[in-house]
Structure 1
Amino acid sequence: MEIFGSFAQLEIGTATGLMFVLLLVLLVTGIPLAFVTLLVALIFALGWFGPMAVPLITSRVYTFVSSFVFVSVPMFVLMAAILDRSGIARDLFDAMRLVGGRLRGAIALQTIVVAVILAAMSGIIGGEVVLLGLIALPQMLRLGYDRNLAIGVVCAGGALGTMVPPSIVLIIYGLTANVSIGDLFTAAFLPGLMLAGFYAAYVLIRAWINPAVAPAVEGPSPPMSEKLRLLKGLFLPILVVIGVLGSIYGGIASVTEASAVGVLGVTLSTMIRGEFSYALMRGAALQTLQTVGMIVWIGIGASALVGVFNLMGGIDFVRDLITGISENRTIVLLFMMAILFVLGMFLDWVGIALLTMPIFVPIVIDLGYDPVWFGVVFCMNMQMSFLSPPFGPAAFYLKSVAPPEISLGDIFRALLPFIGLQALAVAVLIIAPGITGR
């Protein structure tokens, strides 16, 4: 205990540096982020305050996991898990052939549209990238699309679940920043569509400059009977989206209640399609437990660490450090964006949100910015974290289902233009915050 007791003799700046180094060293050893943050929180709680501080950690953790809105997270994850195991996404992709028609780059465009609809159904990233990797990527490669363009569209499109409501990133941010999740969903809707529009414009411009990168679809137009059959694939997904987002925006249901409506809608869809089975629901439930378990453990560790750091006076120290960068609030904001981008290259978005937002949100409010608007900017920044090397999750998700000749390096190289488009979207949100309606 003498070693622990000596921690209290440290200045807060030195203690902050020591905490950062300890986090980095433990992460390099391969220990999961959740357990690293929890261990560091325990070490510094004992070292700075003694054994009596341990109950403070448990109370902080309880506050995080007892939020009613948090119930929506497993619901939306379950929606995505059921979608993964049904044929809804495949039929949706086939139905969107009617949208592109004979337009050059039509398959890439329909992939982006399908990605938006899937994002509006569940808001989960991994499942979307894998689904599009299985459905859209082989078709684009078979039709002679440029490989880099096809890979980029699948990964970037699949990551739109971060921005398009009901985004789980927005939900976690809302819980952390203590702002209305309904307001976040409303504010993020247009920016999410704007980013999808950037992707679509990029595809069209590339196809116009070099037609070889996105060949036009050959062959006769499908007969009316085939078109009607394909249109059926749009009906159930659109109905689920209306049920989830319509109930939230219409003020009929809260986010948590709307998530339950979504699960019911997707489950009924599998029943109508004749795909409902015990094996499907069991697999979806197990996948949900695995994903939500990871989120909860990261939340527990990050909440404990931030709580201890706050009691040490560390949050005030970091706040003074960041605001001391410049008297210009835009420069301070850009500095925070740079921090988030660098962290996004190495950490999971859940950990980033829970570790940084208790520090960043009060700074943003002090600078006169709207915390809801900042939440949308944060989510747009996290878009880049899903694609950025060396640990961009979207690249690893796609690699798991991509043809063996496509290496991880190929995927990351293909994503560079799309990371640039995401950075452009962040810049547009900062320059024109009115896009969020705030």
Structure 2
Amino acid sequence: MIEPIIVVAILLALIAIGAPIFLALGAAGLTGLYMARGSMAFFFGPTSLFAQLNSFELLALPLFVLMGNFLAATPVGKNLFHAAVVWLQWLRGGLAIATVGASAVFGAVSGVSIAGVAAVGSIAVPQMLERGYSRSIAAGAVVSSGALAMLIPPSVPLIIYGAVSNVSVADLFIGGIVPGIALALALSIYLYFRVRLYPEEAPMGEIVHYSWVDRLKAIGGIWHSMLLVFLVLGTIYTGFATPSEAAAFGALGAFIIAVFIFRCLDLKGIAGVLGSSVRISGAILLIMGCARVFGDYLNLVRVPDTITALLVGTDLPPEVILILIMLALVGLGMLVDAVSLIVVTTPILLPLITTLGYDPLWFGIILVMNLEIAVITPPVGLNLYTLKAVAPMLKIEEIVRCVVPFVMVQFVMLLIFVLFPPLSLWLPNLVK
């Protein structure tokens, strides 16, 4: 078993010296294949990469990225936040809770967490600070709720997990609804009780009394967002379209919203969105392909089987093994980006999960819940740096510090769904 240790050491060394993650995965995997099969590695490597990317369901990934980028260029995030404020401003901490609600809905129309942080955070943080909210509440609410886009469908991480594990993306989307809503409610409840205990963190200030006409107008301002949600998810859940086909509907709908409804993109803007989407999608797909090379090497030398046998042979209760896996994933998530973590760990952990008698669909949801913690923890937490970019009045040190209690809330919710699998499987089983 010395060869797998050498291969993993090569991977970690390349990451440590700052090599691109796709290059580290590909080079380590190809080295391992060469040690195991000699010159045949140069046949197995490209074959593995092509096999990973030759998937119809993966078409959904660049299309959902394109949809999210089109929406990020519109005032959709601003309108969602305004609607939430109109309905919740009477409540102490209402602006922070409105941020959670707006981020959850924006996640349902984008699927990309950093897009939600940028779209909602650029509006929510200045408004909260202007009304006397603590910097901790303002930053923590935006960063943590922005991660909801990773779980609430259409979710890019769930698409990636589905491609790696061969679990139905449509089933994963359905399974992500209950945990996504539960996590949004948990964050809102935490904010509510926190500001009740420490009222100075969220002063009430002057309450604007909005009429029902104003509230209905605010809802009317987000009709296009809600229509897009129903268009994308409705066509999937009714069986009218596959996730890839629904993603095409979503991208077209987002294009119409950006260009013809809000008229905020000209030809140069459209070209910029297309270029950005190509770069992001290309980077994700390249990581996935190279990770498949690495994963195929691990499978070739039976590393997943060995790890499964070792852990099952310890006679530890399955719940204890699961909690150890979650802690390991939290630690890895602080060092490795979400896409790489999914494509590297899934082939290793999924055999263990199925051996323990758990559903791969459930594990995909739990894995993505874990990654929600990863994107808000340093040093790789992209949401932290995204908020710093759109809210320069906040220091990165205070953003990191203020997110700690929100991470604890997310970890408690993760443990609940780990220990009670039926909670996340209830809706998919009901739909079936």
> Normalization by structure 2: what TM-score?
0.95
Partner of 1:291: 280
**C-alpha distance in 2 between matches for 1:332 and 1:231:** 46
Question: Does residue 409 of structure 1 match 2:413?
Answer: no
Structure 1 match to 2:270: 281
CA offsets, 1:244-286, max 9 Å, x none? 1111112211111111111122122221223342122211111
Q: Quick one: which amino acid aligns to residue 171 of structure 1? A: I
Question: Structure 1 counterpart of 2:154, which letter?
Answer: P
What amino acid does structure 2 have at the position aligned with 1:362? P
Deviation at 1:53, TM superposition (A): 2.4
Deviates more, 1:367-376 or 1:394-403: 394-403
Q: Name 2:54's counterpart in structure 1.
A: 66
Larger deviation, residues 268-277 vs 428-437: 268-277
The one-letter code matched in structure 1 to 2:338 is W
Q: Take 1:221 and 1:96, find their aligned partners in 2: how far apart are those partners?
A: 14
Alignment correspondent of 1:392: 381
Matched, 1:107 2:117: no
For 1:100 and 1:387, the matched residues in 2 are separated by 26
Q: CA shift at 1:235, angstroms?
A: 0.9
Label 1:291 to 1:140 Cα distance change in 2 as closer, same or farther (>3 A): same
Work out whether residues 158 and 368 of structure 2, in 8 Å CA contact, stay in contact via their aligned partners in 1.
yes
Task: Tell me, in whole angstroms, the C-alpha distance in 2 between the residues paired with 1:41 and 1:431.
Answer: 34
Cα deviation, 1:222-263, whole Å, max 9, x if unaligned, reads 456654543331211111111111111122111111111111
Paired residue for 1:52? 40
**Which sections of structure 1, spanning at least 5 residues, go unmatched?**
1-11
Looking at structure 2, the residues matched to 259 and 297 of structure 1 have their Cα atoms a distance apart, in angstroms, of 20
Structure 2: which amino acid aligns with 1:366? T
- Structure 2: how far apart are the matches of 1:231 and 1:261? 23
1:89 aligns with 2:74: no
Q: 2: CA distance between counterparts of 1:96 and 1:266?
A: 21
- When the two chains are superposed, the root-mean-square deviation of aligned CA atoms in Å is 1.6
Contact 1:125/1:160 (8 A) holds in 2: yes
Which residue of structure 1 aligns with residue 3 of structure 2?
15
Change (3 A) 1:286 1:410: same
1:60 CA drift (Å): 1.2
Counterpart mapping for 1:216-231 below 5 A: 216-222=204-210, 226-231=214-219
8 Å Cα contact 1:104-1:214 kept in structure 2: yes
Contact kept? 1:104, 1:217, Cα under 8 Å: no
1:26 matched to 2:14? The reply is: yes
- Is the 1:34–1:302 contact (alpha carbons within 8 Å) kept by the matching residues of 2? yes
Q: What residue number does 1:3 align with? A: none
Whole-Å separation in 1 of the counterparts to 2:205 and 2:219: 19
Aligned counterpart for 2:308 among listed residues 294, 297, 319:
319
SS in 2 for 1:102: coil
* 2:116 maps to which of 128, 142, 146: 128
The question of whether the paired residues in 2 share the 8 Å contact of 1:76 and 1:263 is answered with yes
Contact residue 243 and residue 262 of structure 1 kept, 8 A: yes
> 2:153 & 2:315 partners in 1: Cα distance?
34
Aligned to 2:196: 208
Bigger mean CA deviation after superposition, 66-75 or 38-47 = 38-47
2:379 is paired with a residue of what secondary structure? coil
In structure 2, what is the Cα distance between the partners aligned to 1:424 and 1:281? Answer: 42
TM-score (norm 1): 0.93
Say if 1:106 and 1:217, in contact at 8 Å, map to a contact too: no
Contact map agreement 2:236 2:246 (CA 8 A) in 1: yes
State the identity %.
31
Contact 1:94 1:233 in 2 (8 A): no
Q: Which moved more, 1:15-24 or 1:364-373?
A: 15-24
Secondary structure (helix, strand or coil) at the match of 1:50 reads helix
Residue 338 of structure 1 aligns with an amino acid whose one-letter code is L
Tell whether 2:420 aligns with 1:432: yes
2:296 counterpart residue number: 307
Tell which deviates more after alignment, 199-208 or 259-268. Answer: 259-268
| Deviations 1:368-390, CA, capped at 9 Å, x for gaps | 11111111111111111111222
Task: Give the aligned partner of residue 165 of structure 1.
Answer: 153
CA deviations on 1:303-328 (whole Å, 9 max, x unpaired) are 11111222123232232233334342
Q: 2:332 aligns with which of 328, 333, 343?
A: 343
Aligned match of 1:5:
none
**Could you say if the C-alpha distance between residues 323 and 388 of structure 1 is closer, same or farther in structure 2, counting changes exceeding 3 Å?**
farther
The alpha carbon displacement at 1:166 in A equals 0.9
Q: Which amino acid aligns with 1:177?
A: S
In structure 2, how many angstroms separate the alpha carbons of the residues matched to 1:168 and 1:36?
Answer: 23
